[in-house]
Amino acid sequence: MPRLVMKFGGTSVANLDRIRRVAKRVGVEVAKGYDVIVVVSAMSGKTNELVGWVGETGAFFDAREYDAVVSSAENVTAGLLALTLQENGIDARSWQGWQVPVQTNSAHSSARIGAIPSDNLDAKFRQGMRVAVVAGFQGISPEGRITTLGRGGSDTTAVAFAAAFDAERCDIYTDVDGVYTTDPRITSKARKLDRIAFEEMLELASLGAKVLQTRSVELAMRYKVKLRVLSSFEEMSDDAGTLVCDEEDIMESNVVAGVAFSRDEAKMTLVSVADRPGVSAAIFGPLAEAGVNVDMIVQNIAEDGRTDMTFSLPVDQVAHAEKAVRDAMAREEINFHDLIADEGVSKVSVVGIGMRSHAGVAARMFKALSAEGINIKVITTSEIKISVLIDRKYMELAVQALHDTFELEKI
């Protein structure tokens, strides 16, 4: 029988009523003749609660136990949905990651899926199981420990199952009816896109649009999974939502497809470091070892053999980053006169494959920000995106201004 993967996020399974609605949706696909793999998230708010409890046990906790605790909320949803489906007369059972098994590496709290052997599920489908309800976000390491895939990781579980089981489609059901030109919570002018290219979606996700986890888009792109984002609260229809697809499958694309943002960023400057070969490696090596996700990097023009080095990072990693560079200084690997951390910045980005063939996008972007009196602190660009770091208090204003400038409400 053809296979389908359906993934339901936290708000879609927030209580038993919603789980019943999910079961109905799944039932519709089963009635069409699909064997369904349903991937579920934790009920909304549950993962945050568990993360909070782990944090309260101490500042430096065992990452393996963090995963053991934080993964557990998905188990509850999987069991409840399986029970509800059974109640509706559908042959369904729940599967925790280790039971499938979802094999990952040992990078606790941000593990990557290596393989999903299909034998166990296949055997059950052959025996008549119609729905496998899989707990998203979790897997098992080679050491036999429970792992999690990073926040938002159920999306990645879903796409990985679609690839491993050769599903006809992977439907990501969420609380919005598709991928928008920007987060609809920021502006009512945001418009739903009928289609978006994998590469654009990849950039939007990695630049902060949490509607899909970045890794899920990477996997879908690599394994050619037909990926759709749609609402679990609206009527079902075959052309609902947004299809994430190859660039070639989009007739005409806009220069800018969307605006993304990442609210909680920080900017760190090492003032007056020596300007000589090896200095960047001496700074960013220890930062990488400390697990700091450095994003933008700017080195100023050198004067008298010394320069300032500025970089951006998530705001909750500032303490780790400070320790890493100060320790490197104590070991005399680097030397700087001062360290300035600005914890009040956000990153705003515009993304679009049309930028490859259109000049002037950066100029339009900078002009729009300057018209609002917003100062740009750091800029980075790639082939299909431009990102700026600005004061956090202007973030919403910047997103709205850019949405207007690139006329995204007309899409």
Ramachandran area for residue 207 (φ above 0: left; ψ -120 to 50: alpha; else beta): alpha
Q: Determine, following the binding rule CB under 6 A, whether residue 352 of this chain makes contact with ligand ASP.
A: no
**Number of residues lying near ligand ADP (CB under 6 A):** 19
Do the beta carbons of residue 260 and residue 323 sit within 8 Å? no
Of residues 255 through 284, those in contact with ligand ADP by CB under 6 A are 258
Binds ligand ADP by CB under 6 A, chosen from 40, 111, 140, 179: 179
Cβ distance to ligand ADP smaller for residue 94 or 242: 242
Q: Which amino acid is at 355?
A: M
Where does this chain touch Mg ion (CB under 5 A) — which range of 57-65, 145-153, 321-329, 371-379? 145-153
Nearest Cα residue to 112 out of 135, 140, 72? 140
Three-state secondary structure call for residue 329: helix
The alpha carbon of 253 is separated from its chain's Cα centroid by a whole number of angstroms, namely: 23
Q: CA 226, CA 4: separation in Å to the nearest integer?
A: 10
Mask: binding to ligand ASP, 109-148, rule CB under 6 A, as x and -?
Answer: ---------------------------xx-----------
DSSP state of 375: P
Binds ligand ASP by CB under 6 A, chosen from 20, 151, 210, 326: 151
Q: List residues bridging with 153 in a β-sheet.
A: none
Q: CA 176, CA 174: separation in Å to the nearest integer?
A: 6
Cβ distance to ligand ADP smaller for residue 209 or 384: 209
Q: List residues bridging with 147 in a β-sheet.
A: 139
Q: CA 392, CA 246: separation in Å to the nearest integer?
A: 34
Structure tokens at 388: 């700026």
Where does this chain touch ligand ADP (CB under 6 A) — which range of 84-92, 97-105, 203-211, 325-333? 203-211
Of residues 137 through 156, those in contact with ligand ADP by CB under 6 A are 152
Do the beta carbons of residue 82 and residue 124 sit within 8 Å? no
Where does this chain touch ligand ADP (CB under 6 A) — which range of 8-16, 263-271, 337-345, 367-375? 8-16
Residues 6+ apart with CB under 8 A from 115: 103, 164
Structure tokens at 48: 């945050």
Q: How far is the CB of 189 from ligand ADP (least distance, A)?
A: 13
Where does this chain touch ligand ASP (CB under 6 A) — which range of 41-49, 95-103, 316-324, 387-395? 41-49
Q: CA 269, CA 336: separation in Å to the nearest integer?
A: 10
Q: How far is the CB of 214 from ligand ASP (least distance, A)?
A: 12
Binds ligand ADP by CB under 6 A, chosen from 148, 156, 182, 262: 182
Mask: binding to ligand ASP, 152-171, rule CB under 6 A, as x and -?
Answer: xxxx----------------
Q: Determine, following the binding rule CB under 6 A, whether residue 135 of this chain makes contact with ligand ADP.
A: no
Q: Which amino acid is at 345?
A: V
Binds ligand ASP by CB under 6 A, chosen from 47, 147, 349, 387: 47
Cβ distance to ligand ADP smaller for residue 182 or 269: 182
Angle, CA of 334, 107 and 105, to the nearest 5° = 135
Binds Mg ion by CB under 5 A, chosen from 27, 97, 139, 152: 152
Taking CB within 5 to 8 Å according to partner kind, which of Mg ion, ligand ADP, ligand ASP, none is near residue 94? Answer: none
Q: List residues bridging with 312 in a β-sheet.
A: 267
Q: DSSP string covering 238-253, please? A: TT-SEEEE-GGG-SS-
Three-state secondary structure call for residue 335: coil
Cβ distance to ligand ADP smaller for residue 125 or 180: 180
Binding site for ligand ASP (CB under 6 A): 9-10, 41-42, 47, 136-137, 151-155
Binding site for Mg ion (CB under 5 A): 9, 152
Binding site for ligand ADP (CB under 6 A): 9-12, 41, 152, 174-176, 179-180, 182-183, 185, 204, 209-211, 258
